[in-house]
Amino acid sequence: MKKRVGIEALAVAVPSRYVDIEDLARARGVDPAKFTSGLGAKEMAVTDPGEDTVSLAATAAARLLRQQDVDPARIGMLVVGTETGIDHSKPVASHVQGLLKLPRTMRTYDTQHACYGGTAGLMAAVEWIASGAGAGKVAVVVCSDIARYGLNTAGEPTQGGGAVALLVSEQPDLLAIDVGLNGTCTMDVYDFWRPVGRREALVDGHYSINCYLEALSGAYRGWREKALAAGVVRWSGTLPGEQLARIAYHVPFCKMARKAHTQLRLCDLEDAVGPAPSAPEAREEVAKSPASYDAQVSTSLGLNARIGNVYTASLYLALAGLLQREGTQLAGQRIGLLSYGSGCMAEFYSGVVGEKAAERMARADLESVLARRERVSIEEYERLMKLPADAPEPVAPAPGAFRLTEIRDHKRLYVEGAH
């Protein structure tokens, strides 16, 4: 019998501070609607030098083990997907293993491919378990990133930070992944990059959106071909994409999910077997259906709108937000997921929501995670943004959270807040 493998549970960690996106708009002399309606943003997470990729990843992973009562002895693999690593050689995963005192017999490494890195780690873990190589062990995959573009830049309102930790096992209470039903598309492009030594990324915004949509088209069509062959979807009644109960997308900003969904529908309309609008203008109009977007996508974006861009974790924040709201309703139904990383790489895959999804999400207690944050003024946000990365302020970490306290002889020292 084919093994059921997927995501058993998840946990989320976010920075301790945020700014209201309307405050930021007014401070920049911009109509707030440009950020709220134009980008779909409400709040934006703000990090300080003590909240780096390691501390966020360790906090999310520790929270996962604690909330879901995971025995560390079960873990055989730890992967961190990130594009904001803190060392050219030593992986974030090694820090997390040490801080959480996880088994020394496990495999640890980082995966990097811009925002796709977390999905790369997830697929490696899923295939490791499905192949039998895991020998009954589970994997922890952590997506941890800080999106930083700088003050008074075009990308400023699309910043953010945080981490999502995923427990991957043969008990996929959240999502049983359709192993082998993956569509991929990769291209060598310069749509977004961060040269060595830079804290802020460089991005060709409009070009990056076009690359995202082109890669999405290739990845979705690849998944659809396999899904049709497997009988998961069919060319009858409704379009194949409409036969997925929900679709979660990579979310650099919330309105990107609407663009992505329109593109996915265009793929189906352009390739349709049977009656479909033939004129490009008519297809475009049908593809933009608000009803389809509202039914399949909109309920996944609540967390993204309140945290901002989290690079590798953005898709998994959307998944968390979706299952937080609709875990009970979606139990037993198939959903689609689209991961995109600049440079570029896209992967579309699917899975069936578990019967215990609502129970697992209740343990994650996401509302409390957000409620513990502090809203700061624009002045305080700008002060934090100007702090040097190697000089963390002496701030005590919150209970159960990790924080960078010092960099001594190039070694990073962390402390955990008392429970």
Q: Which residues are marked as active site? A: 83, 115, 250
Beta bridge partners of 410: none
Q: Distance between CA 58 and CA 102 in Å, rounded?
A: 11
Say how far apart CA 21 and CA 49 lie, in whole Å: 21
**Phi and psi at residue 413, to the nearest 5°:** -115, 135
Contact 220, 264 (CB under 8 A): yes
Question: Beta strands 75-81 and 138-147: pairing type?
Answer: parallel
Burial (CB < 10 A; 0-12, 13-18, 19+), residue 298, is middle
CB contact at 8 A, 186 and 313: no
CA–CA separation, 40 vs 254, rounded Å?
Answer: 5
Asked whether 63 and 121 are in contact (CB, 8 A), the reply is no
**Closest by alpha carbon to 344, among 241, 209, 229, 145?**
209
Say if CB 304 and CB 318 are below 8 A apart: yes
Task: Give the C-alpha separation, 138 to 130, whole Å.
Answer: 11
- Stated as kind and residue range, the H or E segment containing 15 is none
* CA-wise closest residue to 56 among 67, 47, 68: 47
| Phi, psi at 107, each rounded to 5° | -90, 130
